[in-house]
Amino acid sequence: MSSQMVIQRLQQVEAVMREHDHWQTQSPEAEAFTSTEPFCLDTLEPLEWLQWVLIPRFHALIEAGAPLPQNFAIAPYYEVALPDSTPGYAALLLTLNHFDALFQEPTA
């Protein structure tokens, strides 16, 4: 997996979020990021976490040359966390599954 592939998938996630009006122009309050809950469940909505936490952290890891996670998957969380009536639900899940595929060990 190349860093460029990860960046392309992150851009695709952002594009789908923008297309379905989920991309926010204003960051949540700073206190929202101090949550100790997984995915900041108590302070951020799932799509806010994706935009304001996951995407920036991956960009920071790549910029720092840090190792990227292995066997990482985010799509299963969004299958449960988002109602299937969410605009762009299917497109977002497909895009997140493509993102997750970058981090899966190939099976022999």
Instruction: Tell which CATH classification among 2.30.30.180, 1.10.533.10, 3.30.420.40, 1.20.1440.40 matches the domain 3-101.
Output: 1.20.1440.40
5 falls in which pLDDT band (50, 70, 90)? very high
| Separation of alpha carbons 13 and 7, rounded Å | 10
Question: What backbone phi and psi angles, to 5 degrees, belong to 67?
Answer: -65, 145
pTM for the model: 0.87
Kindly give the interhelix angle for 3-19 and 89-101, rounded to the nearest 10 degrees: 170
Q: What is the per-residue pLDDT for 52?
A: 95
Q: Within a 10 A sphere around the Cβ of 95, how many other Cβ atoms? A: 21
Residues 17-67 have pLDDT tens digits of: 999 999 999 999 999 999 998 888 899 999 999 999 999 999 999 999 999
C-alpha atoms less than 13 angstroms from C-alpha of 98 in its C-beta half-sphere:
16
Domain regions of the chain by residue span: 3-101
| Sole residue written with tokens 């206190």 | 31
